[in-house]
Amino acid sequence: MKAIKCKVISNEQIEKNIYKMVFRSDYISTEARPGQFAHIKLCQHSGLLLRRPISIASVDLNRQSFTIYIQIKGQGTEILCSSVKGDYMDMIGPCGSYFNVSEDIKDIILIGGGIGIAPLLLAAQHFKDRNITSLLGYRDGGQVFSVYEFEKFSKQVLISTDDASVGYGGKITDVLIDILRSGKYDCVLGCGPYPMLKTVKDICQQNDILCQVSLEQNMGCGIGACMGCACKIKTDGGYTYKRVCKDGPVFYADEVIFDE
Ligand SMILES: Cc1cc2nc3c(=O)[nH]c(=O)nc-3n(C[C@H](O)[C@H](O)[C@H](O)COP(=O)(O)OP(=O)(O)OC[C@H]3O[C@@H](n4cnc5c(N)ncnc54)[C@H](O)[C@@H]3O)c2cc1C
Ligand code: FES
């Protein structure tokens, strides 16, 4: 992890409020592991001091570049999305822990919801030599992104939308229940909203299957110094707090306490 300035190669709006940005960086494209993020500084005139964490979604070693997807939530992400080709952005990365899957694990399910799909694309790319099944859940047809990229690296891709406009109508976790019933899989890697991740954890426990999840949390320093990103993690005697930015964002689902 180090602080670098990365040049914007392209920035395009791909859905209603989702942008795809490509940056030049030999360092991040070589070093990034699936689940890791870049902590990006906002332009100094914005008056917003805190960086914003954004997952590294894919890398291109030949072009020495990497891609991120940003969904506009508020002022910070809006400022990031207003960058144009040729701008330089100040970032720290690649940050945090990553999806760590041993060699003997062959059949992997990736399950993502909304913008949480982004880090799973790098997982699909990284583990492309295994059997990847990608389950992608979107709110509606106007939010569907990146399916074609997942298809390049996956054995199968299944999509759901809450409004049934594309793919299965309903929750992507229902699709997870179905495919775990019909096939043999070694592990599940998930990222998305907390209620979805909690359901993924429960389903994996019921099916006795290994599961890692990547958590999203607002961040302050992003480097482990402020505890601004604490999450609850199980211990033998009860629980402790860990930092999503440094100890995470990827944890074993069994360890995470998803508060009601
Ligand atoms: C590991 C990780 C990876 C992520 N990957 C992606 C990704 O790939 N793509 C993507 O679109 N999003 C991603 N996110 C979410 C993204 O970081 C947030 O949507 C973004 O920070 C929101 O900022 P905003 O200023 O646009 O939103 P705002 O609406 O301004 O912020 C939402 C709320 O949170 C507060 N807030 C915002 N940032 C902070 C902060 N740093 N500290 C304290 N409070 C804060 C605001 O005050 C506001 O109340 C990721 C988050 C994490 C933790
Ligand atoms: S954001 Fe400061 S410790 Fe995680």
State the closest ligand 2 atom to the C-alpha of 244, by its place in the atom list counted from 1: 4
Across 132-151, b (16+ Cβ under 10 Å) vs e yields bbbbbbbeeeebbbbbebbe
What does the pLDDT read at residue 182? 84
What does the pLDDT read at residue 37? 97
pLDDT at 96 over 90: yes
**Cα 248-252-257 angle, rounded to 5 deg:** 85
pLDDT at 3 over 80: yes
Tell me the pLDDT band of 48, cut-offs 50, 70 and 90. confident
With pLDDT > 70 as the criterion, what percentage of the chain qualifies?
100
What does the pLDDT read at residue 207? 95
Note whether 220 and 228 are within 8 A (CB): yes
pLDDT at 47 over 90: no
Report the separation in Å between the CA atom of 230 and the middle of ligand 2, taken as the mean of its atom positions: 7
Q: Is the alpha carbon torsion for 55, 153, 107, 65 positive or negative? A: negative
pLDDT at 95 over 90: yes
Average pLDDT along the chain: 95
Token duo for residue 201: 């954890």
State the closest ligand 1 atom to the C-alpha of 51, by its place in the atom list counted from 1: 41
* Rounded Cα distance, 98 and 249, in Å: 7
What does the pLDDT read at residue 255? 96
**Ligand with the closest atom to the CA of 78:** 1
**Ligand with the closest atom to the CA of 244:** 2
Report the separation in Å between the CA atom of 108 and the middle of ligand 1, taken as the mean of its atom positions: 28
Report residues whose beta carbon is within 6 angstroms of any ligand 2 atom: 219-222, 224-229, 243, 245
What does the pLDDT read at residue 78? 94
By three-state DSSP, how is residue 187 classified?
strand
- DSSP class of residue 256 equals B
**Ligand with the closest atom to the CA of 248:** 1
State the closest ligand 2 atom to the C-alpha of 220, by its place in the atom list counted from 1: 1
- Does this model's pTM top 0.75? yes
Q: CA-CA distances (angstroms) from residue 183 to 107, 177, 186, 253?
A: 10, 10, 10, 21
User: Which residue puts its alpha carbon closest to atom 39 of ligand 1?
Assistant: 218
**Ligand with the closest atom to the CA of 39:** 1
State the closest ligand 2 atom to the C-alpha of 226, by its place in the atom list counted from 1: 2
By three-state DSSP, how is residue 116 classified?
helix
pLDDT at 68 over 70: yes
Report the separation in Å between the CA atom of 156 and the middle of ligand 2, taken as the mean of its atom positions: 36
* Rounded Cα distance, 80 and 57, in Å: 16
Tell me the pLDDT band of 259, cut-offs 50, 70 and 90. confident
What does the pLDDT read at residue 260? 59
Strands 210-214 and 156-161: unpaired
State the closest ligand 1 atom to the C-alpha of 71, by its place in the atom list counted from 1: 11
Report residues whose beta carbon is within 6 angstroms of any ligand 1 atom: 37, 50, 52-55, 68-71, 73-77, 115, 118, 216-220, 244, 249
pLDDT, tens only, 155-201: 999 999 999 999 999 999 999 999 999 888 999 999 999 999 999 99
Burial of 60 from C-beta contacts in 10 A (0-12 / 13-18 / 19+):
middle
Least confident of 42-46, 87-91, 143-147, 227-231: 42-46
What does the pLDDT read at residue 44? 72
Higher pLDDT, 129 or 47: 129
Report the separation in Å between the CA atom of 247 and the middle of ligand 2, taken as the mean of its atom positions: 10
Tell me the pLDDT band of 31, cut-offs 50, 70 and 90. very high
By three-state DSSP, how is residue 206 classified?
helix
- For 119-186, the DSSP string reads HHHHHHHHTTTSEEEEEEEESSGGG---HHHHHHH-SEEEEEETTSSSSEES-HHHHHHHHHHHS--S
Report the separation in Å between the CA atom of 52 and the middle of ligand 1, taken as the mean of its atom positions: 6
* Contacts (Cβ under 8 Å, ≥6 apart) of 162: 137, 138, 139, 140, 169, 170, 171
* Rounded Cα distance, 79 and 46, in Å: 8
State the closest ligand 2 atom to the C-alpha of 225, by its place in the atom list counted from 1: 3
Report the separation in Å between the CA atom of 40 and the middle of ligand 2, taken as the mean of its atom positions: 14
